[in-house]
Amino acid sequence: MALIVFLAFLLGTFIGSFLNVVTQRLPKCATLGGRSACANCGRVLGLLDLIPVISFIALGGKCRTCKVEIHWRYLAMELVCGGLFAMSAWLYPPLDGLLVVKFLLSAIVCSVGLVTFVVDFEHFIILDRVTVVGSVLAFICVIVLDTMSGQGLFSRASLSVRALLGVACGMVPFFILWFVSGGKWLGFGDVKYMLFFGLTLGYPLVIVGLLFSFWLGALVSLPLLVLGRKQLTSRLPFGTFLVLGQITTLMYGPVFLHWYLRLIGF
């Protein structure tokens, strides 16, 4: 078990290293192909510079040639992605076919979420390409899970139906909020992100995810408002809260829902 979690962590650091490239290049509309190079001296990075975490530490956080400091975000994203993958493996140890797909789904949510979080935080946008690719991959996982568990596609209690219900529960209210506010309360990227959000959580967890997101948003923005650091009209990257709510719900939503339903006497 410990070994599986550790291997998942290693895999996560490699994916995190790749996601770093995605968050740097896609917002500038550049392609993902081509080798990585030092932003300062332009030296193309070799294999030894590209080992996640290890390279950064071995080089002391500096470029091998020109000694300019490498931004800490590279290390941070590799570690965070590794941690999320490890947590996914802990919750869904990929030991049989069904669990492998569940682990994959969790890993997809973490990866797409991480990219969306960073890009929305930096640029105030949510990339359509990332949302769409994530949604397609997630829906494939859902269909495979339904098929493997013998649930039957699009039967009453199947994951696929719950996923589609989740999309409706997320996209419809967000579209109305966007429409009514003329895009002031949230961006259209947030509306489109609900496709991925709803698909991966499904009904009824999508409701828990939305609650978590709004609570987190309030928890962060209210102190900023009180301290006068932000005004009611200033923009907040709402997508970052959606991602946090989504990942928390994916991992701990069922526990929370169970606890809450018992609390209110179901």
Query: Under the rule (CB under 5 A), what is the footprint of Zn ion?
Result: 38, 40-41, 63, 65-66
CB of 46 to Zn ion, least distance (A): 12
Cβ atoms of 13 and 97 closer than 8 Å: no
Q: What is the H or E stretch that residue 266 is in? A: none
Q: How far apart are CA 54 and CA 222, in angstroms?
A: 39
DSSP 225: H
Nearest residue (CB) to Zn ion, 66 versus 153: 66
Report the helix count and the strand count for the chain, using DSSP H and E.
Answer: 9, 0
Nearest residue (CB) to Zn ion, 69 versus 96: 69
DSSP 188: H
Nearest residue (CB) to Zn ion, 41 versus 48: 41
- E strands, the chain, where? none
Cβ atoms of 117 and 240 closer than 8 Å: yes
Tokens for 104? Answer: 């994959």
CB of 40 to Zn ion, least distance (A): 4
Nearest residue (CB) to Zn ion, 64 versus 230: 64
CB of 39 to Zn ion, least distance (A): 8
CB of 66 to Zn ion, least distance (A): 3
